[in-house]
Amino acid sequence: MPTKTRVINAIGKLNPFRSKQPPPPTTGGVPAQIPHPASPFNSGATVNPASSLSGMSADDLQARRRAMLASVSFDVPFHRRVLNKVKNIWRIIGPFCFVLFTAWEVFYFIHSFMPLDTSWTSSALIWGITLLIEVPFMIATYDMAERKAVAVERRERGEIKADRDTLGAVLLWCFLAMVNVAGQIAFLVLITRVGGNPFAGNERTTGLWFFIIVRVTGVLAGDAYTAFFLRPDESTVDRLLRTQEAQMRGDKALAQSDADRLRLEAENDAVIRRITVSVERDERESKFMNDWQNMNMQQTLERQKQFMIAERSRMRELNGVEDEPNSGEL
């Protein structure tokens, strides 16, 4: 019957286990393989961090992390690079400037007590004697800085051996610094013509002596900082290792972030699938009930039709009237 066939087809359409897509075509008994799309990371495409990760393989995720890390600079900030360059330049010109100007101060002081002499030999002699004091102080300052750098390298290698002459080097540096301070004070006293007793109570004398002491102490402090406290510059190997360590930490953090994101995407997909299944189930039930009611109504109408035909035939037999052929009308 057409009604029964239609109901069976409707029930078949409502079967949730029926595949919505036809199976892939086969050739020679071997199922056709669906080609996978090319990975965007192997084709040089731009990495989109906001793209979904659920469809990526482990190699694609690793390539994505590496591409993200390759686009990030692990170098120190720009201001630190500039100031580090300035510091490295000062390592070169600082000692020479210190020697030049402190020696010039001593030359000026000594030359002021000499009678008028225009010969170059006298000036060369004064400059030579001055440099014999200032140049060793510059070398001692550089040597102190080198000792600090060597000590840092040994400490990084786990060595605890210390140089035996370090204490002597520090004491001699302090003595050379005292000689340098004496020359600077003499120069400043001469040019300011301060003279007199610094404790006599004269405000002008006290102020000038305070300026001289602070100025000489500041110059010596700058040289001492260069000798003992100026941080050694980062080597190329250390910079490379720091970059590698930063990249490893970044890769680990990104891997954990990818795992959390994949877990969240899976949970969201599961929620969406549950909602979709629930909606489809409600739709199937509603359609099934509608088809079921239509089938019952048609079945009832068919039964009523057969009952009326039988009743009419019975009445005609009782009345002795010949039965007319069934026209299909009620």
Residue scoring higher pLDDT (45 or 322): 322
Q: Is the pLDDT of residue 322 over 70?
A: no
pLDDT value of residue 29: 45
pLDDT in tens, 140-160: 888 888 887 787 778 777 777
- 296: three-class secondary structure by DSSP: helix
**Mean pLDDT across the stretch 88-115?**
84
pLDDT value of residue 229: 80
**Mean pLDDT across the stretch 101-114?**
84
Residue scoring higher pLDDT (266 or 21): 266
Alpha helices by DSSP H, the chain: 2-13, 58-70, 78-112, 120-157, 166-192, 203-224, 236-319
**Other CB atoms within 10 A of residue 140 CB:** 20
Q: Is the pLDDT of residue 232 over 80?
A: no
Whole-structure pTM value: 0.46
pLDDT value of residue 287: 92
Residue scoring higher pLDDT (324 or 311): 311
pLDDT value of residue 286: 92
Q: What distance in Å separates the CA atoms of residue 254 and residue 266, rounded to the nearest whole number?
A: 18
**Mean pLDDT across the stretch 179-194?**
85
Q: What is the mean pLDDT of the chain?
A: 76
Q: Please report the DSSP string for 247-288 in residue order.
A: HHHHHHHHHHHHHHHHHHHHHHHHHHHHHHHHHHHHHHHHHH
Q: Residue 187 CA to chain centroid, in angstroms?
A: 54
pLDDT value of residue 101: 87
- Contacts for 269 with CB less than 8 Å, ≥ 6 apart: 54
pLDDT value of residue 274: 92
**Other CB atoms within 10 A of residue 197 CB:** 10
Q: Please report the DSSP string for 96-150 in residue order.
A: HHHHHHHHHHHHHHHHHTSPP---HHHHHHHHHHHHHHHHHHHHHHHHHHHHHHH
Domain residue spans of the chain: 78-233, 238-282
Rounded percentage of the chain residues whose pLDDT exceeds 70: 76
pLDDT value of residue 66: 75
pLDDT in tens, 278-300: 999 999 999 999 999 999 999 99
